Amino acid sequence: MTTPKMEVLEVALLSKDEEEYLIKLDPDTNEVKALHTRKDKTERVFKKGKRSSLFAAMELARQVYNKQLDSGWKSVWINFSKAAEDLYEEEIGKKGGKKKKSPPTKVVKAEPPPPPPPPTLKELLKETPAGLAAISMKELKVAHKQYRKLSEKSS
């Protein structure tokens, strides 16, 4: 069974005077093309790029769009999010699953990263004087407090 070919997506249109600049993305080849349409309606590929992944291609399309804005072009419409959604649905379709809308983004509170493991004896032997002093002074204060507690208890 052959995999159905995905449609080329139009992701953004820009304009300057009577000229137009259309950015397209081919999800099958991860190719980004920009068509520059002049007054005389001639169309030519103005920019072209290919990326190894679809997301990298999407990023390239976005970069092209931003560069045009910097060069004095105005945005007529953009469709990056719609394009991303279409791609998602296409992907689901390819795999034979039920087409559905992209799930709402779930906000997950990031857990604090686990504390780094304490340095080993070998690592400490290679530590600089300042680095070693910083670690030691903290730990020595804690050891001293524990010593004081124990001495108070025993007395």
Contact residues toward other proteins (CB under 8 A) are 118-119, 121-122, 124-125, 127, 129-130, 132-137, 139-147
CA–CA gap between residue 129 and residue 103 (Å, rounded): 53
76 vs 143, beta carbon nearer other proteins? 143
How near is the Cβ of 134 to other proteins at its closest, in Å? 7
Beta carbon of residue 131, minimum distance to other proteins (angstroms, whole number): 10
Kindly tell me which of 110 and 142 has the beta carbon lying closer to other proteins.
142
Nearer to other proteins, 1 or 125 (CB): 125
As to burial, measured by CB atoms within 10 angstroms (0-12 exposed, 13-18 middle, 19+ buried), residue 119 is: middle
Q: 6 φ, ψ to 5°?
A: -85, 150
Segment (H or E) for 15: strand 9-16
